[in-house]
Amino acid sequence: MSIGILILLIAIVPALWKRSGTFVILWFLGSAFLAFEYMEVLYSRAVQDYLLSMPLPLGDIHIGLNKLSAFFGVIFSLGLPLGMLYGHFYLKEHASEALRSHLFWLGIMGLSMHGLLWIRHSLVFLMVWELMSLSSFFCVLFSKQENLKPGLNYLIMMQVGAAFLIAGFGLSYLQSGTFNFSGFEDMNPLPMFLILVGFAFKAGVFPFASWLPQAHPVAPSHVSGIMSSMLVKTGFYGFLVIVSANRFSLREIIAMSLIFCISAFWAVSHMLNERNLKRILAFSTIENVGIAGMGMCLGLLGAHAKLPGMALMGFCGAFLHIFFHSIFKAQLFYNSGNIMHGGGGLDIDNLGGLAKKMPKTAVFTLLGVMTISAIPLTNGFFSEFNIFKAALEASDAVMLTHLLPSLLILASLAFIGALAMIAFFRFYGIAFLGAARSARADMATEAKLGLRMPIFILSLGILITGIFPNIPLRFVKPLLRWFDLDMHYYRELQILGLQITYVYVILIALFLLLYVLRRVCVKEKSSATWACGYPRVNRKMQSSSITFVQPLAYFLKPFMIKKSSVMKQPGAFPEQVDYSEEHPDQVWEMIVTPLSKLLSRMLLLFSGIHNGRTNSYIAWALAFLVLMLIWVAGFR
């Protein structure tokens, strides 16, 4: 098929010899070849199409690329080698005897992610999908005992998702008579719904997203970065495969937009309360998938309402958000690895004052935080700009049923965006600014050059795509055309992008002017923070992560379930009071845990079958055969 995949296959050999350096170099090389191939498909008329004839259960296997998979392919081939590079340096810091298996599974995971994009045959797709789930499970494990539970939880969730996919693919086969993706066109609603649910498990959409905040915090940072920024996107790729081949009824579109809104809001309400940095980032992945989904829904609504501008801007916002999210989320996760390593933990209440101890990480993280809160000058702003614009474009719609969902998306996106901004400024303010909140954070050290290098490259990507939005616009252009959208509005977006660049130039010039003026005019004196009569501010007096969201938590109480406990010594003047609060994931507490308990209790009923006597086993087999005979005979 291609030399790129071949190189990536060869990369597994040095992985087996624990040569992570060679492994990474091979990954860079292979990804370069692959990226070239994807770009070719994306920008020219070049076609990658193969037909593999196999024995009957499989039939003719269609392998190839189209614009959609090439788009995701470019994202993967840019992001994966950087993740591997970060992993190389990360693994040096966290030496583990499991290096061999970890590298092996890392390679398999990357390969299967690429493989998914090539395969256009649902059975083989499922195999690769399972391989991807399995290999990422092993990557999460990282041979640590405490990772087993969240890891297994992830694997089981993926299996349940795969069950939905199997059912959906099977029904679609019954309908169309082919396993190839060409059979996905104009599907019946049931298989379509099943497949979408199956992909939603991977993409991290609300009721099925409980694995993200559990698996990400325990996984090594490069794995959580790759998973959160790219692996999750394979679920979204699945959505788009279905969306591109089917027409949706208005009711379905509205249902989807509601789900994405709820998903994003649910995630953001958790982000506001979370103390663990990686859990914040994991929830933020759910939120960002929700935002990209909102863009997609706006696009579908626009197409349904025959508003070409809205359709284009909605889809454009969704694609751009997917692309940008793969950059900034990876950047933030790699940063979180550096913070954990340098600052001694992930609990933001134990960090604090890192900006002084780790100045470079602080600047990178600030950039990531700004992007994820969609602040101008960064790329996150431009994708949300598109989605907002699409939602406002709905004003030309004639039917209320088109208007109301887009207004809902408009308001909830603004609300969710603001809450996400609060959550991330809270994280940055508490972890990086002020004084150190624990003795360990006082001894924080800057991360090594190698650990900062991939982050630097990603940050450069954020700035370039942020300040010159026309570059990423050109990247999504073939995809927009492939989705059959009105390119007239694309030119309008291009002009907008240029104007935004001009505004940024003015902004930066003004800022530099004022800043230089200050540097020239002002003499600085340094003194302790003013503390209203206290001799000095100590680190316990700073605003903590809980107090910071208190005003909002008061208001959003119905959405934030809290378990708090106070430990107090008896007596009128207790010397020590311990207060702790916890914000459990509602879906996990209320649905997943009771469901799995119910399931295991039900399975207990059948445990009597397993009695260890051979003759009874033979009896079961005989009974089964008899039943089968009756069934088959009955049908004849």
Binding to other proteins (CB under 8 A) within 359-418 occurs at 359, 362, 366, 370, 373-377, 381, 385, 388-389, 391-393, 395-396, 400, 403, 407, 410-412, 414-415, 417-418
Contact call for residues 374 and 268 (beta carbons, < 8 A): no
* Nearest approach, Cβ of residue 352 and other proteins (Å): 8
Distance linking the first and last C-alpha atoms of the chain: 46
* Nearest approach, Cβ of residue 324 and other proteins (Å): 15
Token output for 634: 């009955």
| Backbone region of residue 289 per phi and psi (left: phi > 0; alpha: psi in -120 to 50; beta: other values) | alpha
Using the rule CB under 8 A, is 511 a contact of other proteins? yes
Cβ-count burial 539-569 (b if 16+ within 10 Å, e if not): eeebeebbebbeebbeebeeebbeeeeeeee
Q: Which is nearer to other proteins, 13 or 537 (CB)?
A: 537
* Nearest approach, Cβ of residue 305 and other proteins (Å): 14
Query: Which member of 95, 532, 577, 633 binds other proteins (CB under 8 A)?
Result: 532
Q: Which is nearer to other proteins, 112 or 465 (CB)?
A: 465
The binding track of 473-492 with respect to other proteins, each residue x by CB under 8 A or -, is -------------------x
CA dihedral 135, 141, 143, 149 (to 10 degrees): -130
Query: Which member of 419, 467, 476, 485 binds other proteins (CB under 8 A)?
Result: 419
Q: Which is nearer to other proteins, 136 or 542 (CB)?
A: 542
Using the rule CB under 8 A, is 50 a contact of other proteins? no
Using the rule CB under 8 A, is 524 a contact of other proteins? yes
* Nearest approach, Cβ of residue 500 and other proteins (Å): 7
Stretch that binds other proteins, among 83-91, 281-289, 467-475, 493-501 (CB under 8 A): 493-501
Query: Which member of 43, 425, 456, 588 binds other proteins (CB under 8 A)?
Result: 425
Nearest one of 379, 377, 384, 339 to 360, comparing CA atoms? 339
Using the rule CB under 8 A, is 595 a contact of other proteins? no
Diameter of the chain measured on Cα atoms = 96
Query: CB-hemisphere CA count at 13 Å for 272?
Result: 27
* Nearest approach, Cβ of residue 521 and other proteins (Å): 6
Q: Which is nearer to other proteins, 526 or 565 (CB)?
A: 526
Using the rule CB under 8 A, is 526 a contact of other proteins? yes
Token output for 55: 């024995």
Token output for 250: 């208005």
Q: Which is nearer to other proteins, 212 or 416 (CB)?
A: 416
Query: Which member of 143, 188, 543, 569 binds other proteins (CB under 8 A)?
Result: 543
Stretch that binds other proteins, among 55-63, 157-165, 430-438, 563-571 (CB under 8 A): 430-438
Site for other proteins in 149-208 (CB under 8 A): none
Cα 114 to chain center, whole Å? 17
Site for other proteins in 326-355 (CB under 8 A): 352-353, 355
Stretch that binds other proteins, among 223-231, 342-350, 501-509, 562-570 (CB under 8 A): 501-509
Q: DSSP secondary-structure letter at 121?
A: B
Stretch that binds other proteins, among 66-74, 106-114, 254-262, 537-545 (CB under 8 A): 537-545
Q: What are the two backbone dihedrals, phi and then psi, of residue 564, each rounded to the nearest 5 degrees? A: -120, 150
- Other beta carbons within 10 angstroms of residue 166's beta carbon come to 18
Stretch that binds other proteins, among 165-173, 201-209, 514-522, 572-580 (CB under 8 A): 514-522
Q: How many angstroms separate the CA atoms of 78 and 81, rounded?
A: 7
Lookup result for tokens 């009955």: 634
Lookup result for tokens 């969240």: 150
Q: How many angstroms separate the CA atoms of 94 and 191, rounded?
A: 45
Beta bridge partners of 564: 581
* Nearest approach, Cβ of residue 381 and other proteins (Å): 6
How many residues at the interface with other proteins, by CB under 8 A?
A: 85
Using the rule CB under 8 A, is 433 a contact of other proteins? yes
* Nearest approach, Cβ of residue 362 and other proteins (Å): 7
Q: How many angstroms separate the CA atoms of 636 and 327, rounded?
A: 58
Kind of pairing, strands 577-582 and 563-568? antiparallel
Lookup result for tokens 């193969």: 50
Using the rule CB under 8 A, is 459 a contact of other proteins? no
Q: How many angstroms separate the CA atoms of 111 and 139, rounded?
A: 13
Q: Which is nearer to other proteins, 150 or 309 (CB)?
A: 309
Using the rule CB under 8 A, is 528 a contact of other proteins? yes
- Cβ within 8 Å of residue 293, ≥6 positions away: 205, 236, 239, 256, 257, 259, 260, 263, 264, 318
Query: Which member of 86, 164, 428, 475 binds other proteins (CB under 8 A)?
Result: 428
Contact call for residues 38 and 66 (beta carbons, < 8 A): no
Query: Which member of 174, 443, 531, 628 binds other proteins (CB under 8 A)?
Result: 531
* Nearest approach, Cβ of residue 390 and other proteins (Å): 10
Token output for 290: 């929700």
CA distances 556 to 265, 272, 277, 285, 559, Å, are: 11, 10, 21, 21, 6
* Nearest approach, Cβ of residue 395 and other proteins (Å): 5
Contact call for residues 321 and 288 (beta carbons, < 8 A): yes
* Nearest approach, Cβ of residue 518 and other proteins (Å): 5
Site for other proteins in 548-587 (CB under 8 A): 548-552, 554-555
